[in-house]
């Protein structure tokens, strides 16, 4: 009679299951955070103090207004070199504003970077190379007035900028929802309006959209409430996280293709956005933003 030695089954299944569970619990927090616990700031560079409604004059200089109430009437346009921190006055301007409220600091820079339009409540047009000052509207050189009938739609309309094809890009947005993009060819008379195909960052409320100076790329700032990272963090830490918001910056082509996240910032609880004043630098390769009173730049390539 031949006896075969019976092998006792090895009880390893539960051991491997435990290893997998422990590995997931340990590694997930590492996957959702980088070394600094903040993906956006870990890749961004601080460029000095942040200011409201700044504009990029060059890749190294920002332009903004310093405004006081009428009791202290020495308002001026200044520029600051973000490499050296040196602030230089550009020109003074008179204060004709009718009130001092939200929106008084808003301004926009002309495409040739020679004129600043300070919006405020008086719409002052300030040529940077002179002390001349006009109130908008005013006779701009080679300017023409256009009446463009747009397709029926609802929501807020915002002109994002003009492309190299001389098309004005308009977004229509209801709150945080983008309904459509329109391209207005301003060369023909009457102008030709067409709908653009577009895509937005996934699962998020859109707060800012900025067209690049070259007119071929978009930068987006959005926020997502109670995202999966917050849920995993709550599960792994055992602490109630409450309502979490994740603010992120994305870049894409004009049609939304090539969508890529540059980074995000998580904010526990309910509060205002920690990321503000999204801008493109003139090179079209870098994006800037203000975070907790600091000006930051981050590569968008």
Angle, helix 228-237 to helix 13-32, in steps of 10 degrees: 120
For 148, counting Cβ atoms within 10 Å of its Cβ (0-12 exposed, 13-18 middle, 19+ buried), the class is: middle
Residue 144 vs residue 192, higher pLDDT: 192
What are the tens digits of pLDDT across the range 54-65? 999 999 999 998
- For residue 24, what pLDDT band results from cuts at 50, 70 and 90? very low
Q: What is the CA radius of gyration of the chain?
A: 26
Beta strands in 33-176 (DSSP E): 45-49, 55-56, 61-66, 76-81, 87-92, 107-109, 115-118, 124-127, 134-135, 156-162, 167-174
CB atoms within 10 A of CB 82: 21
Model confidence over 242-290: pLDDT tens digits?
A: 556 788 999 999 999 999 999 988 776 556 678 889 999 999 999 999 9
Domain boundaries, the chain: 44-140, 156-301
* Nearby residues of 180 by Cβ (< 8 Å), 6 or more positions away: 153, 171, 172, 195, 196, 198
pLDDT at 175: 72
What pLDDT digit, counting tens, does each position of 204-241 carry?
788 899 999 999 999 999 888 755 555 565 556 555 55
pLDDT, residue 34, reads 42
Q: Quote the pLDDT of residue 289.
A: 95
Residue 90 has pLDDT above 50, yes or no: yes
Indicate the range of 14-18, 170-174, 206-210 predicted with least confidence: 14-18
Residues contacting residue 231 through CB under 8 Å, at least 6 positions apart? none
Kindly tell me if the per-residue pLDDT of 139 is higher than 70: no
Instruction: Answer whether 162's CB lies under 8 Å from 168's CB.
Output: yes
């Amino acid at each position: 009679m031949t006896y075969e030695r019976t092998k006792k089954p090895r009880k390893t299944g539960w051991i491997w299951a435990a290893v997998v569970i422990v590995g997931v619990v340990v590694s997930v927090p590492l996957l959702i955070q980088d070394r600094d616990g903040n993906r956006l700031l870990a890749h961004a560079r601080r460029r000095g103090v942040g200011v409201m409604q700044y504009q990029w004059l060059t890749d190294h200089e920002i332009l903004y207004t310093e405004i006081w109430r009428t009791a202290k009437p020495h308002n001026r346009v200044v520029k600051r070199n973000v490499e050296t921190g040196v602030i230089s006055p550009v020109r003074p301007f008179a204060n004709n504003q009718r009130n001092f409220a939200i929106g008084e600091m808003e301004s926009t820079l002309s495409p040739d970077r020679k004129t600043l339009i300070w919006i405020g409540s008086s719409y002052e047009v300030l040529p940077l190379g002179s002390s001349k000052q006009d109130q908008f509207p005013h006779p701009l050189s080679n300017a023409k007035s256009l009446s463009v009938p747009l397709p029926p739609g609802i929501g807020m309309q915002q002109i994002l900028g003009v492309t190299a094809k001389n098309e004005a890009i308009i977004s229509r947005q209801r709150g945080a929802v983008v309904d459509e993009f329109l391209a207005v060819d301003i060369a023909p008379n009457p102008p030709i309006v067409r709908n653009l195909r577009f895509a937005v960052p996934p699962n998020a409320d859109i707060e800012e959209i900025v067209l690049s100076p070259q007119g071929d790329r978009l930068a987006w700032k959005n926020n997502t409430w109670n995202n999966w990272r917050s849920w995993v963090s709550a599960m792994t830490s055992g602490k109630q996280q409450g309502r979490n918001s994740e603010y992120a910056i994305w870049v894409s082509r004009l049609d939304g293709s090539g969508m890529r996240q540059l980074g995000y910032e998580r904010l526990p609880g309910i509060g205002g956005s920690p990321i503000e004043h999204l801008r493109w630098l003139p090179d079209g390769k870098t994006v800037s933003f203000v975070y907790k009173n600091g000006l930051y730049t981050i590569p968008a390539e």
